[in-house]
């Protein structure tokens, strides 16, 4: 969903650039506390993984494709502030080097794919994580729903911006329906990829999933099964 130059007028683009700059400034402060010994080496990997998988457009209905946005995935892996930095680097490289997403639209894209997608994806993830069981399945479900919702909400925010400062004079209703409709489908892909990648990392190195550290803490506090077994044998 990389917005090209020209869709939004200069005033709106300046506004989103200011929002993006403020968000990145906050992220530079916030990420300092996230970038500990485990998260710091993961930041680069998260960014390159999002960049690479964003190249993999998958087909959705009606001759249309979509790709991972990656905000929710990145936020669960390295924390929301570091995720904003990762997505900003990805979007900058895409806009400046690959002409993917406009230059005057860079602020818009950082706002939508960075701030909005991460805000929604991580917000929903945290909300669900608090109420679902503290298990691997609970964690993956929380992340999957967060990832799914982040895509149509980002599409909806684009429509809002388009309503404020869209250059073309077209009816907003059909644009909203089309954008949300197709991005609900793309959101399903977002959820599938997010859950698959997080599941894989949780299997190999659960301690490297920042959003899943509560699972490890719970496990550390649980009685060790071997001790419980030994006691049972002794009792017999």
Q: How far apart are CA 22 and CA 52, in angstroms?
A: 27
| Residues 121 and 146 sit within 8 Å (Cβ to Cβ) | yes
For 18-36, give one letter per residue: b (16+ CB within 10 A) or e.
ebbeebbeebeebbeebbe
Least Å distance, CB 18 to another protein, is 20
Of the two residues 110 and 141, which places its CB atom closer to another protein in the complex? 110
Least Å distance, CB 40 to another protein, is 6
Of the two residues 3 and 116, which places its CB atom closer to another protein in the complex? 3
Least Å distance, CB 82 to another protein, is 8
Question: For residue 125, what are the contacts with CB-CB under 8 A and spacing of at least 6?
Answer: 72, 75, 76, 142, 143, 145, 146, 211
Q: Which of 89, 132, 156, 202 binds another protein (CB under 8 A)?
A: 89
Q: Does 48 bind another protein (CB under 8 A)?
A: yes
Least Å distance, CB 165 to another protein, is 12
Q: How far apart are CA 203 and CA 74, in angstroms?
A: 17
Q: Does 43 bind another protein (CB under 8 A)?
A: yes
83: how many CB neighbours lie within 10 A of its CB? 31
Of the two residues 204 and 221, which places its CB atom closer to another protein in the complex? 204
Least Å distance, CB 68 to another protein, is 11
- Footprint on residues 142-201 left by another protein (CB under 8 A): 155, 158, 166-168, 170, 174-175, 178-179, 182-183, 185-186
| Residues 191 and 125 sit within 8 Å (Cβ to Cβ) | no
Of the two residues 64 and 137, which places its CB atom closer to another protein in the complex? 64
Stretch of residues binding another protein (CB under 8 A), selected from 54-62, 114-122, 215-223, 224-232: 54-62
Of the two residues 138 and 166, which places its CB atom closer to another protein in the complex? 166
Q: Which of 141, 145, 108 is nearest to 123 (CA)?
A: 145
Least Å distance, CB 147 to another protein, is 15
Helix (H, G, I), strand (E, B) or coil at 68: coil
Q: Does 73 bind another protein (CB under 8 A)?
A: no
Helix H or strand E encompassing 69: none
- Token pair 């669900």 is found at 128
- Token pair 């644009």 is found at 175
| Per-residue contact string for residues 90-119; x = within reach of another protein by CB under 8 A | x-xxxxxxxxxxxx----------------
Least Å distance, CB 38 to another protein, is 7
């Amino acid at each position: 969903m990389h917005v090209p130059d020209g869709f939004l007028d200069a005033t709106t683009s300046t506004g989103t650039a200011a929002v993006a700059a403020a968000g990145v400034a906050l992220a530079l402060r916030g990420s300092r506390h996230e970038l500990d010994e485990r998260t710091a080496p993961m930041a680069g990997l998260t960014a390159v993984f999002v960049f690479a998988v964003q190249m993999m457009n998958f087909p959705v209905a009606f001759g249309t494709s979509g790709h991972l946005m990656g905000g929710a995935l990145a936020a669960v892996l390295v924390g929301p502030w570091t995720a904003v930095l990762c997505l900003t680097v990805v979007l900058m490289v895409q806009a400046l080097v690959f002409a993917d997403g406009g230059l005057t639209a860079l602020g818009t894209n950082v706002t939508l794919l960075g701030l909005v997608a991460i805000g929604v994806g991580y917000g929903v993830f945290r909300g669900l994580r608090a109420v679902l069981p503290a298990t691997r399945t609970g964690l993956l479900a929380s992340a999957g729903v967060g990832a799914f919702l982040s895509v149509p909400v980002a599409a909806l925010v684009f429509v809002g911006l388009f309503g404020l400062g869209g250059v073309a004079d077209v009816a907003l209703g059909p644009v909203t329906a089309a954008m949300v409709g197709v991005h609900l489908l793309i959101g399903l892909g977002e959820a599938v990829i997010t859950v698959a990648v997080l599941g894989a990392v949780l299997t190999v190195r659960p301690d490297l999933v920042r959003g899943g550290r509560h699972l490890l803490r719970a496990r550390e506090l649980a009685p060790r099964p071997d001790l419980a077994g030994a006691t049972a044998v002794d009792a017999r």
